[in-house]
Structure 1
Amino acid sequence: MTAQPNSTEARDMAYHLHSYTNPRKLEREGPLIIDRGEGIHVFDNSGKRYIEGMAGLWSVAVGFGEKRLVEAARRQMDKLPYYHTFSQKAHGPVVDLAEKLIGMAPVPMSKVYFANSGSEANDSAIKLVWYRSNALGRPEKKKIISRIKGYHGVTALSASLTGLPNNHRSFDLPLANILHTTCPHYRTGAEPGQDELAFSRCCAEELEALILEEGPETIAAFIGEPVMGAGGVIVPPEGYWAAIQDVLRKYDILLIADEVICGFGRTGNMFGSETFGMRPDIMTLSKQLSSSYQPIAALMINDSVYEPIANEADRIGALGHGFTASGHPVAAAVSLENLAIIEEKDLVGNVRRLAPHFLGRLNALERHPLAVEARGIGLIGALELEAADGAAAGATGARVGAILQRNGLICRNIGDSIAFCPPMIITAAEIDEMFDIVEASLGELGQQAAA
């Protein structure tokens, strides 16, 4: 009889298929088992403490171990642990959360639809856009434009929107009617001597050329993150969103703002759309909505989107879309408490106050011999490193990520870029501690390279 694995690490390797992980590498090296969290820190099952420099997955705004969220979940579990929102049913937490989000929206919005992840929210947004086009008698108006290096999820549809090769390879993606335009990365995309405004105009001209080539009557929507997250923390150049929106208005194309990472304070305003002057027709939200204490996502739609959809659903008899856990009462209750904490503790203000210090420490790393570029806004940033001679793309980033983790800092290497997105409760002293570890780890890498 084959012996059964007994340690947590062994059982994980035996039974668990991980997300965004090389399974064979996991088999060779084993997992890091995180046991608990407190504030900006997490602890593994040996008791080692780490600064969580990515707030989990860009998401734990209020930090780990927030007792108010635990208690909000407990109260709701005790009262109504589950109910759905099908067939004209609702419950108090989902009604309260929908009302709260409409009141927070940076532009007029009409309705909120709830899902369980950013992927589902973006998937749902595109389905509703297609439904709207049919309702308006424009069945040909179905194409969606996304961007190279944009990230929008991992369902078949949202992964198609994503402009990253590993989300497409061997999955037979992208699906039809999904197009990709220029990544607005100034350093890599601009011509010599071209300033940011000129580069932004160039991005808008390339978008317009794509629209004209495909036929404006076939393009339904453009989707974009205010700041690109998983594509490497790409901050748009000056004038970018103004130029893009001019083109979209010219050709009657909806704007979907993917606020899954930027929403609820990350860029120094409640929404990234405010930071960059975006006026979306649809907004998708998740992550910091509940600080990821519960799986929940939302999309908000304005009247120009809602009214045709409502008319079409009335004609058919129902809107044939929904998830079992859409607007789950526990997730909604936790989200409401999480938003209350963000407001009461002025965490958006904390981001604004600390951003100069955070970005100052980040930008100082650009002087390191291995650094190519530092970029960021608010409390989100990345340091891009030079690939070592002969090394595969991403190998340097992976080496640095491993050194950082060994030294007590969990970050995320995106290719050869190291991303930072700490909980919004972080202090100036903790920012210093985080970047001190980064500096020391880069020193270790340099010593290894010189050896």
Structure 2
Amino acid sequence: MAHLPNSLEARDTAVQLHSYADARRQEETGAIVIDKGDGIYVSDINGKRYIEGMAGLWSVAVGFGEKRLVDAAARQMEKLPYYHTFTYKTHGPSIELAEKLIEMAPVPMSKVYFTNSGSEANDTAIKLIWYRSNALGQPQRKKIISRVRGYHGVTIASASLTGLPNNHRSFDLPLPQILHTTCPHYRSQKKDGESEADFARRCAQDLEDLILAEGPETIAAFFAEPVMGAGGVIVPPDGYWEAVQPVLKKYGILFVADEVICGFGRTGNMFGTQTYNLEPDIMTLSKALSSSYQPISALLISDEVYQPIADESHRIGVLGHGYTGSGHPVAAAVALENLKIIEERDLVGNVRAVAPVFQKRLQGLKANPLVVETRGIGLIGAAELSHNAYIDTPGALGAKANAHFHENGLISRNMLDAMAFCPPLIITEAQVNGMFDIAEESLAAVSNSL
């Protein structure tokens, strides 16, 4: 599309490098400038209104334009706009938020460490795990296992955990201490005649085989999302977690539950950990923690993780790690108010109430011949597309569908050829139906054009 020389689109192209974009294509087409948000909707600078079917980046739980969060930020800005948590200093909002998260934790947790993004939370988790291994006199226990198609961030360490090829290509990743095991996607990974239960057991066996091949004494931790998000909304097969967790316990391997997308209601419980009866030693949180109104994330660590770290910091004299914005008072104040809204308005209850319609309409997309599978739980889902003409060009069909979605007023995200749906948790049944009406109309147009 052509843009006027002095338009916001042209100015953006002139000065900004975008995430998850083709920079040369960006130079040709420019970006869509989003200007306003209200509830589940956003509008661009031309006044076109869209259903934000991805809640921004899987994150705006309470919807756009929530005045209580604006007011919470303003109050804190007036009182204490910034302070840090370095060198024995702290402030009220970080204390209150840490207390709240320990109270909310679905398994016993000892301490909270604040960071600014999910990537930083997972990166910090790796550092603390290595630090702990040294504290325990196990310097060889440094390898970390994640999963193919898992998503854990984009810093050097967290991008290494991420099991997606385009997050590694030309970045010289992954780091050598990061290993990847089988993706629990039954349809694409199953063997002929293999039942879902057998596949789940094989995933656990693959994990154990990798541990034994590397040496159990060298494996420090296993990172996993309860439900894979950016890797394609991969819902684990029945029995998967029941098979995997005993393997980790058998070899004394820490379990890090990446709740960055699943946390705070998305799967129909406050945490994905509850949905799948997980027992993590560390949880990483972000996104819906503040509904992304402010950048903030957190690690929750068990006492078993904390005590050796505390001992090592005492031996050295300092825990030599920290971010300028860790526990930022404005971000913490907004997160606290956001959690109050989630609880007061029973948004987890809304997820449970609306999810049956969401999942039924998602499954209904399979009536389109392009849709080979739908996957989902709670208010998160994906429709996988396939067509012979596009098999050799992964992502081309998804991009075509995404363009039709956008033209028809729905913002989605194609993860290669999987179309994602992850709306704000405030969405109503009528709005769910409206979202999937657009999806059906758009996919029909794509199908008819081939």
Q: TM-score over 0.5 for the alignment?
A: yes
1:175 equivalent to 2:171? Answer no
Instruction: Say if 2:368 and 2:444, in contact at 8 Å, map to a contact too.
Output: no
How far 1:113 moved relative to its partner? Answer: 0.2
1:13 equivalent to 2:13? Answer yes
1:154-212 superposed Cα distances (whole Å, 9 cap, x missing partner): 00000000000011000000112100000000111122332222111100000000000
> Which amino acid is 2:283 matched to?
M
Structure-2 separation of matches of 1:442 and 1:411? 12
How far 1:298 moved relative to its partner? Answer: 0.2
1:401 equivalent to 2:412? Answer no
- Count of aligned pairs: 446
Question: Which residue in the other structure is 2:184 paired with?
Answer: 184
Structure-1 separation of matches of 2:26 and 2:38? 26
Structure-1 separation of matches of 2:431 and 2:260? 25
Structure-2 separation of matches of 1:189 and 1:20? 26
Structure-2 separation of matches of 1:72 and 1:88? 26
Question: Which residue in the other structure is 1:55 paired with?
Answer: 55
Instruction: Say if 2:148 and 2:164, in contact at 8 Å, map to a contact too.
Output: yes
Question: Which residue in the other structure is 1:124 paired with?
Answer: 124
Structure-1 separation of matches of 2:447 and 2:314? 65
Q: Map 1:287-298 onto structure 2 (within 5 A).
A: 287-298=287-298
Q: Map 1:368-387 onto structure 2 (within 5 A).
A: 368-387=368-387
Structure-2 separation of matches of 1:310 and 1:435? 50
Instruction: Say if 1:259 and 1:271, in contact at 8 Å, map to a contact too.
Output: yes
1:69-111 superposed Cα distances (whole Å, 9 cap, x missing partner): 0000000000000000000111000000000000000000000
How far 1:389 moved relative to its partner? Answer: 1.2
Question: Which residue in the other structure is 1:349 paired with?
Answer: 349
Q: SS of 1:125's equivalent?
A: helix
Deviates more, 1:359-368 or 1:187-196: 187-196
Question: Which residue in the other structure is 1:428 paired with?
Answer: 429
Instruction: Say if 2:256 and 2:281, in contact at 8 Å, map to a contact too.
Output: yes
Question: Which residue in the other structure is 1:74 paired with?
Answer: 74
Q: SS of 2:389's equivalent?
A: coil
How far 1:375 moved relative to its partner? Answer: 0.5
Deviates more, 1:192-201 or 1:321-330: 192-201
Question: Which residue in the other structure is 1:193 paired with?
Answer: 193
Structure-1 separation of matches of 2:75 and 2:5? 37
Structure-2 separation of matches of 1:333 and 1:197? 45
> Which amino acid is 1:41 matched to?
Y
Runs of 4+ in structure 1 displaced over 4 angstroms?
A: none
Instruction: Say if 1:53 and 1:410, in contact at 8 Å, map to a contact too.
Output: yes
- TM-score for both structures, normalised by structure 1: 0.98
Structure-2 separation of matches of 1:57 and 1:34? 14
- TM-score for both structures, normalised by structure 2: 0.98
How far 1:26 moved relative to its partner? Answer: 1.0
> Which amino acid is 1:300 matched to?
L
> Which amino acid is 1:58 matched to?
W
1:139 equivalent to 2:139? Answer yes
Q: SS of 2:180's equivalent?
A: strand
Quick one: percent identity of the two aligned structures? 69
1:196-233 superposed Cα distances (whole Å, 9 cap, x missing partner): 22111100000000000000000000000000000000
Instruction: Say if 1:387 and 1:393, in contact at 8 Å, map to a contact too.
Output: no
Q: Map 1:231-246 onto structure 2 (within 5 A).
A: 231-246=231-246
> Which amino acid is 1:424 matched to?
L
How far 1:275 moved relative to its partner? Answer: 0.3
Instruction: Say if 1:388 and 1:396, in contact at 8 Å, map to a contact too.
Output: no
How far 1:387 moved relative to its partner? Answer: 3.4
Structure-2 separation of matches of 1:31 and 1:192? 44
Question: Compared with structure 1, are the counterparts of its residues 50 and 388 closer, same or farther at alpha carbon in structure 2 (3 Å cutoff)?
Answer: farther
Structure-1 separation of matches of 2:435 and 2:238? 29
> Which amino acid is 1:227 matched to?
V
Instruction: Say if 1:144 and 1:220, in contact at 8 Å, map to a contact too.
Output: yes
> Which amino acid is 1:291 matched to?
S
How far 1:240 moved relative to its partner? Answer: 0.6
How far 1:243 moved relative to its partner? Answer: 0.7
Question: Which residue in the other structure is 2:154 paired with?
Answer: 154
Structure-2 separation of matches of 1:223 and 1:53? 27
Structure-2 separation of matches of 1:364 and 1:42? 26
> Which amino acid is 1:54 matched to?
M
How far 1:134 moved relative to its partner? Answer: 0.1
Deviates more, 1:382-391 or 1:196-205: 382-391
> Which amino acid is 2:439 matched to?
V
Structure-2 separation of matches of 1:316 and 1:231? 39
Question: Which residue in the other structure is 1:366 paired with?
Answer: 366
Q: SS of 1:389's equivalent?
A: helix
Q: CA RMSD in A?
A: 0.9
Q: SS of 1:223's equivalent?
A: strand
How far 1:36 moved relative to its partner? Answer: 0.5
How far 1:370 moved relative to its partner? Answer: 0.7
Structure-1 separation of matches of 2:177 and 2:186? 27
Question: Which residue in the other structure is 1:446 paired with?
Answer: 447
> Which amino acid is 1:213 matched to?
A
Unpaired segments of 5 or more residues in structure 1? none
> Which amino acid is 2:414 matched to?
N
How far 1:388 moved relative to its partner? Answer: 4.2
> Which amino acid is 2:146 matched to?
S
1:317-339 superposed Cα distances (whole Å, 9 cap, x missing partner): 01000000000000000000000
> Which amino acid is 1:283 matched to?
M
Q: Map 1:206-225 onto structure 2 (within 5 A).
A: 206-225=206-225
Instruction: Say if 2:148 and 2:162, in contact at 8 Å, map to a contact too.
Output: yes
